[in-house]
Chains A and B, each alone.
Chain A
Amino acid sequence: MTALAARRVWGLMYRHLALYRSSWPRLLELVYWPVLQMVVWGFVTAYLAGVQNNVASVAAGVLLGGVLLWEVALRSQMGFAISFLEEIWSRNLGHVFVSPLRPLELVAGLVGISAARMLVGVIPAVGLAFLLYGFGLWTMGPVVVVFFAMLMMMGWAVALGVTALILRHGAGAEPLAWSVLFGLTPFAAVFYPVSVLPDWLEPLALLVPAAHVFEGMRAALLEGRTAWGHLGAALALNLAWLGGMGWLFLRQFQAARVRGALLNIGE
């Protein structure tokens, strides 16, 4: 990336950072859901662990770890897609698209701001999980950084697909920015292993990068080992998902230029 390209990417990121600096409700919203999810699931976990007379059980850690790591994917996807929507809501997209910012630089800027949004939202929840329930995500070891990276990549891939749909269908596709990843939760094996799923569904679940991440998380927490096979599969799937969704995004961007959708997107 050239210095000029990096500056354009930073320009887009600065626009969103400035927005959050001037809007505390937006900042609060970033933290609110991950913390709320963690608190609710923390109590559920504490209750279940108490029933088993084992408050500090690793099973409790598996549930809380699942909640926290799934938030990484959710916040990464939402951060990307909602930042794109912010440009539509502020009727600023026309200015952005007639600037020298290339489509891939737009994607890079949205990835950057999505990573910042995710960290601002998830890190307080991780800290609170330790303070309230004694669960430290870092007990999994350095591999947790890889889990974060894999889930962020999956979130961005899904967000690219959502953004492509917004370019194709305009405001009608906006609700997908919030809901689409929730629909993948049953197949992502967040709270249970893939083997729990019906036989016919298992191959489908194994096409979801997150399923391999959470299998890896359980291996780390329950067996104290790094499941390199699952991590490799997650990386390969993420690259495939990112490639496919990136292609879809660029294709829809070009199609929007042909249809004239960039002149009135959001209407």
Chain B
Amino acid sequence: MPPAPALRVEALTKRYREDRPPAVDGLDFVMPRGATWGLLGGNGAGKTTTIGMLLGLLVPTSGRIEALGHDMATDRFAALARMNFSSPYVALPHRLSVAENLRVYAHLYGVKQAERRIVELAEQLHLTDLLKRPAGELSAGQKTRVALAKALVNRPDLLLLDEPTASLDPDTGDWVRSWLERYRAETGCAILLASHNMAEVERLCDQVLMLKAGRAVDRGSPAELLARYGRDDMEEVFLDIARDRRPLLAPAPPPGDAAPPLPGEAAAPPPGQAAAPPPGQAAAPPRQGLAGAGAGTGGRDASA
């Protein structure tokens, strides 16, 4: 019997108040083991709410989450023991040393041979010289590496990363991305990351789930999304979606995994045909077709 997927999400909805639209609206996806997926969307798109529900911090209004084969409604602690999470917006206690912080989480996650694991992580993440330093005295890059060490202390099968390289300089950000690529290849850990760094998403993710107003408005590999929107980079795809510009090709959800159409349209226009912009909105800059985007050469129109 094949292992359960890393995440199975069915009709996930979160409505904070009855008189307001849902923050997450009918999200469906199945994320396989060992995959790296990106959760993209503008501010207020529902990323934080989605991650909160995946981590059990939030109870969905309706729908179901299964993490590593465990139903998050009834068996969340079994799943949480095999998951972990890192975010620059959730800190580690500043007065505790790096080693003390890692020791706390090694205990909370029931890590066997905790001291050996801490030394191992410190070596891998270049933290050995920092183990005795208070976490609050570290630079942003050092804090990111410590947060990663905390997130990996229990050798998770599923890792949720919120903005893993936010506020890092390009060199440190690149180091973290390379490290994550290598870690996933070596361990088969599934990674779901929320990021506003499109280059990061393009580099790390097999699949991208685009959220807008709580709904999954598109999904696919970065290459598929680039081709679908006729763009050269994910930032332009992000802007197309954020500004309701229509793709050149219809979204193609995986079988049995229905993605809703883009807001305000029943179906995508035929390939190569520009769609009319929504009322009061500037027309999208012209885009290349599928072939040009796939070739990745000279794809950007002069006006784009």
Report A's interface with B, CB cutoff 8 A: 4, 7-8, 10-12, 14-15, 18-19, 22-23, 86, 90-92, 94-102, 254, 257-260, 262-263
Contact = CB atoms under 8 A, between A and B. Distances in A.
Contacts of A95: 85, 90, 92, 105, 150
B110 A15 contact: no
A12 B108 contact: yes
Contact of B92 (A11, A14, A92, A257): A92
Interface string B100-118: 1001111111100000000
A90 B103 contact: no
B95 A23 contact: yes
Contacts of B80: 98-100
The CB with the most chain B CB atoms within 10 A, among A18, A90, A92, A100, is that of: A100
Interface of B: 14, 16, 48-49, 52, 55-59, 77-78, 80-81, 83-85, 87, 89-97, 100, 103-110, 134, 150
Contact of B109 (A10, A99, A254, A258): A99
Contacts of B105: 11, 95, 99
B59 A100 contact: no
B96 A94 contact: no
Q: Which 4 A-B pairs have the closest CB atoms?
A: A11-B107, A94-B90, A91-B91, A100-B81
B144 to A, nearest CB: 15
B110 A7 contact: yes
19 contacts: A7-B110, A8-B108, A11-B103, A14-B100, A15-B93, A19-B93, A22-B95, A22-B97, A86-B93, A90-B93, A92-B90, A94-B85, A100-B109, A257-B57, A260-B58, A262-B52, A262-B57, A262-B58, A263-B58
Given A100-B80, A258-B59, A92 B93 contact: yes
A231 B276 CA distance: 81
Given A18-B96, A90-B95, A97-B57, 12 more contacts: A19-B96, A22-B96, A90-B92, A95-B90, A98-B55, A98-B57, A257-B57, A260-B14, A260-B16, A260-B57, A260-B58, A262-B58
A132 to B, nearest CB: 34
A254 to B, nearest CB: 8
A211 to B, nearest CB: 38
Contacts of A90: 91-95
A100 B110 contact: yes
A215 to B, nearest CB: 42
A20 B134 CA distance: 13
A32 to B, nearest CB: 19
Contacts of A259: 16
Nearest to A21: B100
A11 B95 CA distance: 16
Contacts of B110: 4, 7-8, 100
A90 to B, nearest CB: 4
Contacts of B100: 14-15, 18
B15 to A, nearest CB: 11
A93 to B, nearest CB: 8
B58 A96 contact: no
A97 to B, nearest CB: 6
A258 B23 CA distance: 13
Name which of B59, B84, B103, B108 has the most chain A CB atoms within 10 A of its CB: B108
B159 to A, nearest CB: 12
Contacts of B104: 11-12, 14-15, 18
A168 to B, nearest CB: 16
B59 A257 contact: yes
Contact of B58 (A4, A14, A101, A257): A257
Contacts of A12: 104, 108
Nearest to B87: A94
B42 to A, nearest CB: 18
Contact of B52 (A22, A91, A100, A260): A260
B20 to A, nearest CB: 12
